[in-house]
Amino acid sequence: MPSATKCADSRKSGSGANLLHGSDLPKKQMQQQLKIVSAREAPPNFGSPMILDIEEIPAFPGKTGLALNATNTRIMAELLGDDFFEWPGSIFTASKVPQRNPTTGVQTWGLVISEARKYRERQAAAVTPKKGKGKKVAAVTAKHTDDTPF
């Protein structure tokens, strides 16, 4: 089983041209919802523990990946499970936050994972009937066998 936590512990930095960065989001846009196509361990010379391949969004042409630092990798593991082969299809929200580049010391915009939901959970929620008051009333009414109308 591939482990996101082991990836987070193995490396600490990275860069890439087709990767989405916090500075790519428009000035007033503070969040972006993204869909995971695949998740993989970053190459040894890359530095970041993991790379998420994401569905391309028309607002960000050519941006098909997101490098996860150790903190974001651990957050994703906590929200979606440690086995990153199960992450594809999941949707997550990346929030833009100011942060300092550890290499250059320059303040820039970064992305922090603020929420995520597994694909299977969303799919199950869509087909599972909700247990509401209507169901309880129907169950109680079914127990009464007298012919008196209500």
Count of structural domains within the chain: 1
C-beta of residue 67 within 8 angstroms of C-beta of residue 54: no
Could you tell me the residue range of the domain that residue 118 belongs to? 4-143
150 within domain boundaries = no
User: Distance between CA atoms of 25 and 10, rounded to whole angstroms?
Assistant: 29
Whole-prediction pTM: 0.69
In sequence order, the 6+-apart residues with CB closer than 8 A to the CB of 121 are: none
pLDDT at residue number 134: 45
98 within domain boundaries = yes
DSSP 64: -
148 within domain boundaries = no
DSSP 104: T
User: Distance between CA atoms of 139 and 146, rounded to whole angstroms?
Assistant: 15
76 within domain boundaries = yes
pLDDT one-digit tens code per residue, 54-79? 999 999 999 999 999 999 999 999 99
Average pLDDT over residues 41-63: 91
149 within domain boundaries = no
